């Protein structure tokens, strides 16, 4: 089945590593199933993701945190791939793909996806320059949530489209164990999933673990990993740092509580995946997360309030699961088929 969607290339940081990458893999697969001509380019080297792209994939294999030379090599490789595949539309996700995309010249239409309320991290000046160039190139803009505007001018995007997320009818080991052994109500471990970086505030989890005496596990990697590991040893917190794990939800066990302490977020797929896997959670009460309208007990505004909630629900962690009716509303907005239809309708307008 062929589609009238223009020939579209998606560019991401890597095959795996974060919410943007996973969501893009889900999206390209759903578009391929719908008959669209789609390809995927990944800039940085990485292992395979849990979601394997079914479209043609071009890996540029740039080393993580490489310097200027590796960026130049990646640019020339991207240029060659674009020339070979001849996309009509190129969709760029996250900072490095945006930077490379701003240097590309051709007849294709450029689209940038805004994944966070504060993109470009510590490289704000470079980000402003890149986005000025992209704006002058008549780039189109997509935001993954209605609470996001396009930085740095806070203008509205051309369209808001949530991230797609797989919603298979499978159970995690945690739920399987619950069925086999009965409910374990006590909170027994704190779980952090995501990048170990400043804006995610993983140090809050260590502080909460220290004050509550609970062990913690950090699924993810980043610049703060070494300092967090050292701090956990010095403060006597029992913490594990397995690094990036393709499917952390398969390692969740009864009694686990997910903590999301971020300063800011985009679509926060960790929250959405926690809901899908029925994992109890507590999240920082920031505007980016308050928009999910979770029950009041799931929100905390400081480490001390996280500690208070954990103490209050220490004997019944399942009270911190998001109720079915509330979770259904959140998940329906991110069904792959629904998201793919929105992308198809948008891409058709770019022809």
CATH number at residue 263: 3.40.50.2000
User: Are 325 and 343 members of one domain?
Assistant: no
pTM of the predicted model as reported, rounded to 2 decimal places: 0.89
DSSP three-state, residue 242:
strand
Within a domain: 17: yes
User: Are 302 and 222 members of one domain?
Assistant: yes
User: Are 56 and 149 members of one domain?
Assistant: yes
User: Are 296 and 310 members of one domain?
Assistant: yes
What's the pLDDT score for residue 64? 84
User: Are 41 and 154 members of one domain?
Assistant: yes
Exposed/middle/buried for residue 223 (C-beta within 10 Å: 0-12, 13-18, 19+): exposed
User: Are 72 and 160 members of one domain?
Assistant: yes
Within a domain: 1: no
Q: Which range marks the domain in which residue 221 is found?
A: 173-332
Cα–Cα distances (Å) from 53 to 12, 32, 276, 336, in that order, read: 12, 9, 21, 14
User: Are 145 and 290 members of one domain?
Assistant: no
Are 196 and 231 in contact by the 8 Å Cβ rule? The answer is no
Strands of 1-117, DSSP E: 8-12, 38-44, 56-62, 89-93, 109-114
Q: Give me the number of domains the chain comprises.
A: 2
Under DSSP, the state recorded for 156 is P
User: Are 131 and 243 members of one domain?
Assistant: no
Give me the residues of the chain with pLDDT under 50, please.
1, 169-182
User: Are 208 and 245 members of one domain?
Assistant: yes
What's the pLDDT score for residue 122? 83
Within a domain: 230: yes
User: Are 16 and 73 members of one domain?
Assistant: yes
CA neighbor of 75 nearest in space, from 32, 43, 52: 43
| Backbone phi, psi, residue 28, to 5° | -65, -35
What's the pLDDT score for residue 2? 56
User: Are 280 and 141 members of one domain?
Assistant: no
User: Are 116 and 32 members of one domain?
Assistant: yes
């Amino acid at each position: 089945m062929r589609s009238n969607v223009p020939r579209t290339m998606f560019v991401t940081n890597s095959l795996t590593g974060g919410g943007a990458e996973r969501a893009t893999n889900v999206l390209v697969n759903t578009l391929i199933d719908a008959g669209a001509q789609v390809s995927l380019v990944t800039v940085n080297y990485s292992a395979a993701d849990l979601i394997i792209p079914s479209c043609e994939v071009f890996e540029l294999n740039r080393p993580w945190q490489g310097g200027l030379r590796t960026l130049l090599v990646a640019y020339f490789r991207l240029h060659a791939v674009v020339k070979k595949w001849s996309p009509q539309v190129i969709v760029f996700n996250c900072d490095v793909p945006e930077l490379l995309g701003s240097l590309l010249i051709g007849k294709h239409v450029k689209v940038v996806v805004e994944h966070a309320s504060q993109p470009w991290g510590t490289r704000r000046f470079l980000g402003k320059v890149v986005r000025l160039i992209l704006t002058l190139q008549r780039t189109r803009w997509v935001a993954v949530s209605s609470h996001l505007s396009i930085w740095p001018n806070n203008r509205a995007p051309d369209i808001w489209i949530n991230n797609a997320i797989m919603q298979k009818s499978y159970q995690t080991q945690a739920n399987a164990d619950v069925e086999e052994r009965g409910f374990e109500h006590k909170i027994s471990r704190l779980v952090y999933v995501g990048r170990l970086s400043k804006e995610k505030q993983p140090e809050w989890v260590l502080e909460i673990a220290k004050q509550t005496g609970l062990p913690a596990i950090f699924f993810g990697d980043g610049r703060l990993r070494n300092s967090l590991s050292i701090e956990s040893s010095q403060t006597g917190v029992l913490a594990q740092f397995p690094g990036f794990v393709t499917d952390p939800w398969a390692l969740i066990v009864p009694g686990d509580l997910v903590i999301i302490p971020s300063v800011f977020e985009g679509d926060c797929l960790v929250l959405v995946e926690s809901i899908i896997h029925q994992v109890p959670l507590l999240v920082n009460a920031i505007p980016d997360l308050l928009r999910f309208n979770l029950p009041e007990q799931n929100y905390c505004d400081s480490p001390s309030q996280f500690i208070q909630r954990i103490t209050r629900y220490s004997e019944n962690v399942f009270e911190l699961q998001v109720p079915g009716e509330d979770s259904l509303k959140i998940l329906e907005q991110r069904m792959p088929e629904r998201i793919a239809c929105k992308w198809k309708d948008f891409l058709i307008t770019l022809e």
